[in-house]
Amino acid sequence: MADGSPESPGVDAVRHCIEAALPFKALTGGTLDALAQAAECIDLFAGEVLYEAGSAADCLYIVEFGVLRLEPIAKTGHPAASAVMRPGQAFGWIALAEQGLRRNRAVAVTPARLLRLCGSLILNLVRADPAVGRMSLEDLRAVLQAIQLSPGRDAVPGHAASPVGSVVKKPAAIEIGLFRVAQWFRSPAPYMMLLGYALLLGFWYLSVQVLKLPRFAQMPGLTAVLHEWFSKNPTYGVSIYTPVYYQHILVSLRRIGIAFALATGLGVPVGLMLGWSRVFKDYVFPLFEMLRPIPILAWVPLAIIMLPGSELPIIYLTFLASFFATALNTMLGVRSIDASYALAAECLGASRWQIFLHVVVPGALPFIFTGLQISVGVAWFSLVAAEMISGQFGLGYLINTSYTTVEYPTLVIAMFTLGIVGYLSSSLVRLAGMWLMSWRTRHLALGELR
């Protein structure tokens, strides 16, 4: 200490302390000096309250020595909810937001010495600093945003150590979503995407309707399709205003729904058994492997012969495709589980059933959902073929009849509708998977999983 007085430590020491604690790396020496000059030194004894929650926040504090605790207001006094401030850390950032109120109560745990900086003074000095410019103000804004996002906290840790037991509130999903959307709009991606679509549609329009290229001229044109699709009085009877359009969609969806539910209900247990029991696998897997190379669509005539009516063969074909995908992926999922997990559970006294329920099923879940995604895709694939070959209603049937009756715009409408409905259904499965396996997504994001 230069002047020997404990109440006013050397300006250099204060300056160093401020420089270490504050996130204003770009401040020039002059500003730092001015801050150090303006800093007041205060001493607290153990148990002394520095400020109460709800009082006007006008100052920012840096701990020089000692320990302080920040206790949130509305909490029940749970120790985990309060933050502990140690030497070198700064708190009371709310002072930098003009006219803020303290959100917590600061109590000294041990005798402590603090540096007090007036909030408005900091703001004025930072604004006046020529070298700071935008950057530091943006830093400041980021700090304030962090405070706003975490209402339980009135402190930002210095870079030296994180406060023990502090609770960082995770931003809500909607905030993350909005942020991502904003970022996406700032990137070139959406504009490139629009350009890509424009090129595709432009090519379609030009080649079919304007240039009338040799083979393209007989295809339905872009405007004809759009006009038909959104017309209240469609020429060929199918548009978004006609109930028959939705009838086709619903019939296809119903078939997919039944087949997918059956395939999942049967495929997942069979797959789990295939992966879990060697005996079961020995008996069943060879049959699987014999049937699997036969393309699903080669089953069409046999399915028509085997099953009564026209609805059952279509559902059967769709089911068959989904079933193989689901069962095989589930089996791979079970086999991908590290055997030491099962051994560890057994060592800890888990029964066979418990291992199955708590190790095998959750372990296979990621693969099961991969399987379900593939299964939805192949379900649509075979549904369309089955409907085209034999069917009374449905989008595949619509495609085929509009071809045979030369209603080409309807053909394209049905194709695009099929794409949209198929995309939506596989998104639904993906969302369900993400929701059921949120633990896995989190671990992946944190890099804790392979």
Partner 1 sequence: MTADIAATPTGAPALGEAGARKLPGFLNNPSVRRACIAIAAALIFWQLGATSHDWLGIGLPVVGHVPSPIAVLKAWHGLIGDPGYWESWYLSFTRVALGFAAATAIGVPFGLLLAMSRYFRGLAFPVFELLRPIPPLAWVPASIIFWPTQEMSIDFVIFLGAFYTIVLNVLGGAREIDPRLVQAARSMGASRWNIFRRLILPGVLPSICVGMEVAVGITWEVVVAAEMISGGGSGGNTASGGGLGFFIWNSYIGGSYPDIIVGMISIGIAGYLSSTLVRATAKRLMPWTRGR
Interaction with partner 1 in 412-431: which residues (CB under 8 A)? 412, 414-416, 418-420, 422-423, 426
Taking CB under 8 A as the rule, does residue 4 contact partner 1?
no
The reply on whether position 360 binds partner 1 by CB under 8 A is: yes
Q: Are 88 and 20 in contact (CB under 8 A)?
A: yes
Asked if 320 touches partner 1 (CB under 8 A), the answer is: no
- Note whether 157 binds partner 1 by CB under 8 A: no
- Dihedral pair phi/psi, residue 273, rounded to 5°: -65, -40
Residues of this chain, 361-390, that bind partner 1 according to CB under 8 A: 380-382, 384-385, 388-389
Q: Position of tokens 């401040």?
A: 27
Among 51, 229, 276, 367, binds partner 1 (CB under 8 A): 276
What backbone phi and psi angles, to 5 degrees, belong to 64? -95, -50
284 lies in the site for partner 1, by CB under 8 A: yes
**Residue 357 C-beta: closest distance to partner 1, Å:** 14
Q: Which is nearer to partner 1, 42 or 280 (CB)?
A: 280
> Residue 237: left (phi > 0), alpha (psi -120 to 50), or beta?
left
Measured CA to CA, the distance from residue 99 to residue 57 in angstroms comes to: 7
Q: Apex CA 450: angle with CA 326 and CA 169, to 5°?
A: 100
Residue at 443: amino acid letter: H
Mark the segment that binds partner 1 (CB under 8 A) among 62-70, 148-156, 352-360, 438-446: 352-360
Q: How far is the CB of 43 from partner 1 (least distance, A)?
A: 52
* Helix residue ranges, H only, 277-355: 278-291, 300-306, 311-336, 339-347, 352-355
Name which of 61, 21, 24, 17 is nearest 161 in CA terms.
Answer: 21
Between residue 42 and residue 61, which ones bind partner 1 under the rule CB under 8 A?
A: none
Stretch that binds partner 1, among 65-73, 149-157, 237-245, 300-308 (CB under 8 A): 300-308
Of residues 39 and 418, the one with the C-beta less far from partner 1? 418
Q: In the structure encoding, which two tokens stand for residue 316, read together?
A: 């059967």
Distance CA 283, CA 290 (A): 12
Q: Establish if 281 lies at the interface with partner 1 (CB under 8 A).
A: yes
Query: Hey, which residues between 214 and 233 contact partner 1 (CB under 8 A)?
Result: 215-216, 218-219
Contact between 85 and partner 1 by CB under 8 A: the answer reads: no
The span of 3-11, 23-31, 78-86, 282-290 binding partner 1 (CB under 8 A) equals 282-290
Given candidates 75, 227, 335, 440, which one binds partner 1 under the rule CB under 8 A?
A: 335
Q: Say how many residues touch partner 1, by CB under 8 A.
A: 78
Q: How far is the CB of 188 from partner 1 (least distance, A)?
A: 6
Q: Give yes or no for residue 402 binding partner 1 (CB under 8 A).
A: yes
**With respect to partner 1, which residue has the nearer C-beta, 30 or 295?**
295
Coil/strand/helix, residue 86: coil
- Per CB under 8 A, the list member of 211, 306, 432, 449 interacting with partner 1 is 306
Neighbours of 126 (CB within 10 A): 20
Are residues 69 and 110 in contact, defined by beta-carbon separation less than 8 angstroms?
no
Rounded to a whole number of angstroms, the minimum distance from the CB of residue 170 to partner 1 is: 27
Nearest CB to partner 1, comparing residues 21 and 300: 300
Residue 148 to residue 133: CA distance in whole angstroms = 23
Nearest CB to partner 1, comparing residues 80 and 291? 291
Among the listed ranges 19-27, 66-74, 193-201, 228-236, the one in contact with partner 1 (CB under 8 A) is 193-201
Q: Where are the alpha helices (DSSP H) in 171-235?
A: 173-186, 189-205, 222-229
202 binds partner 1 (CB under 8 A): no
Amino acid letter, residue 32: L
Q: Is 55 left (phi over 0), alpha (psi -120 to 50) or beta?
A: beta
> 111 vs 377, which CB is nearer to partner 1?
377
Q: Residue 119: CA atoms inside 13 Å, Cβ hemisphere, count?
A: 19
> Left, alpha or beta for 110 (phi > 0: left; psi -120 to 50: alpha)?
beta
Q: Which of 221, 267, 271, 275 binds partner 1 (CB under 8 A)?
A: 275
Distance of CA 31 to the CA centre of its chain: 43
Q: Which of 146/189 has CB closer to partner 1? A: 189
400: contact with partner 1 by CB under 8 A: yes
Question: CB–CB of 61/14 below 8 Å?
Answer: no
